[in-house]
Structure 1
Amino acid sequence: MSNKRNSRLPAELKRVISEVIRNNVKDPRISELMSVTDVRVTEDLKFAKVYISVYGDSEPTLEALKSARGYIRREVGRKIKIRNTPELIFVKDDSIEKGIYMNNLINKVLEEEGKKDVDKTKPE
């Protein structure tokens, strides 16, 4: 039973944290183009890593979220009924940049392969 609950908790935390940041946190350093991409909770439910994706410079947004961490945690505790609200750890999510980088590498290899195929078909 607890495993089922533990699997639902990260999704609920993600939804509530996004809502709290968007509606309640009034720090101008938080980018409008920020989103919570993932939440991973430890087995003992003491800590939750909150992955943040920001378009552009992410440092001011991360600093603002770290300074508002206590407020966000308290609001999450009010909206989600769990015995202990996990400590929030905000982390930059760079998976989108890594995906773009990998996509560019694949396209580069495909272009080179295409040029080799064209060179093979040319009569000498």
Structure 2
Amino acid sequence: MRKNSIKNTRINGEVQKVLSEIIRKEIKDPRINPMTSVVTVEVAPDLKTCKAYISVLGDEASQQSTMKGLKSAEGYIRRQLAHELNLRNTPQIAFILDQSIAYGVNMSKLIDEVTKDISDDEEEDEEV
């Protein structure tokens, strides 16, 4: 995989910032969960395509409905992105559900349970 240039990294950051503002403030679709965040954005070097990794705080049904809402509002989001950013080409956006935050929270809970069990076992050993 090719390393991102400084220009591409800067464009990724700007697109992520503007995209999160559009999703949070301008889209009125009731399917989109209010706890939706843009985790990261990868814009292709030719500015034709863009992968937006989206994290949704909620259950599976809420995540799926949010993704459907974003897919249906893709044209509006792209038009707003074109108004906000002065790029040669406005990228075609592909929304991808990112499960990494939920996975991290789940792993943290599992680690806490294991460490709690270990500390409970150590306390029992000291009492005996």
If the length of structure 1 is used for normalisation, what is the TM-score? Answer: 0.84
Aligned residue type for 2:20: S
Match of 2:34 among 27, 32, 35: 32
Q: 1:8 aligns with which of 1, 10, 14?
A: 10
SS in 2 for 1:32: coil
Residue 35 of structure 2 aligns with an amino acid whose one-letter code is L
Deviations 1:40-87 (A, max 9, x none): 223433322112222221111110110111221122112111111111
| Partner residue in 1 for 2:23 | 21
Segment of structure 1 superposing worse, 61-70 or 47-56 = 47-56
Which has the higher Rg, Structure 1 or Structure 2?
1
Gap change, CA 1:119 and 1:22, over 3 Å in 2: closer
Deviates more, 1:22-31 or 1:11-20: 22-31
Is 1:99 matched with 2:104? yes
Q: What is the match of residue 81 of structure 1?
A: 86
Structure 1 unaligned spans of 5+: none
Unaligned runs of 5+ in 2: none
Q: Which amino acid aligns with 1:31?
A: N
**May I ask how many residue pairs the two structures share in their alignment?**
122
Tell me, yes or no, if structure 1 residue 66 matches structure 2 residue 68. no
